[in-house]
Amino acid sequence: MNHRAIGAIFNFEINRARRTIGQSIISPVLSTILYFIVFGAAIGGRIDAIEGVSYGAFIVPGLIMQTVLAQSISLASFAIYFPRFSGTIYELLSAPVSFAEVVTGYVGAAAVKALTIGLIILATSFFFVPIEILHPFWMLAFLFLTCITFCLLGFIIGIWADGFEQLQMIPLLVITPLSFLGGSFYSIKMLPEFWQNVSLLNPVVYLVSAFRWSFYGTADVAVGISLAVILAFLCISLAVIAWIFKTGYRLRN
Q: Which of 242, 77, 101 is nearest to 160 (CA)?
A: 77
In a 13 Å sphere around the CA of 44, the CA atoms on its Cβ side amount to: 21
The CA distance from 24 to 117, in Å, is: 9
200: three-class secondary structure by DSSP? coil
pLDDT in tens, the chain (253 residues): 778 888 988 998 888 877 777 666 777 777 777 777 776 666 656 676 777 788 888 888 998 999 899 999 999 999 999 888 887 878 887 888 888 899 999 999 999 999 999 998 898 888 878 888 999 999 999 999 999 999 999 999 999 988 888 888 888 888 889 988 888 888 898 889 999 999 999 999 999 999 999 999 989 999 999 999 999 999 999 999 999 988 888 776 5
Q: What is the phi/psi pair of residue 42, to 5°?
A: -70, -45
Neighbours of 190 (CB within 10 A): 12
Q: Residue 253 domain-assigned?
A: no
User: What's the one-letter identity of residue 61?
Assistant: P
Strand-pair partners of 53: 50
- Report yes or no on 189 lying in a domain: yes
Q: DSSP character for 163?
A: S
Question: Is residue 49 in a domain?
Answer: yes
- Report if residue 58 sits inside a domain: yes
> How many alpha carbons lie under 13 Å from residue 50 in its C-beta half-sphere?
24
62: in domain:
yes
| φ and ψ at residue 19, rounded to 5 degrees | -70, -25
**Residue 83 sits in which domain range?**
3-247
- Is 87 domain-assigned? yes
Say how far apart CA 183 and CA 110 lie, in whole Å.
25
Total structural domains in the chain? 1
Residue 39 lies in a domain: yes
CA distances from 106 to 37, 40, 226 (A): 34, 35, 26
3-state secondary structure of 53: strand
Domain assignment present for 141: yes
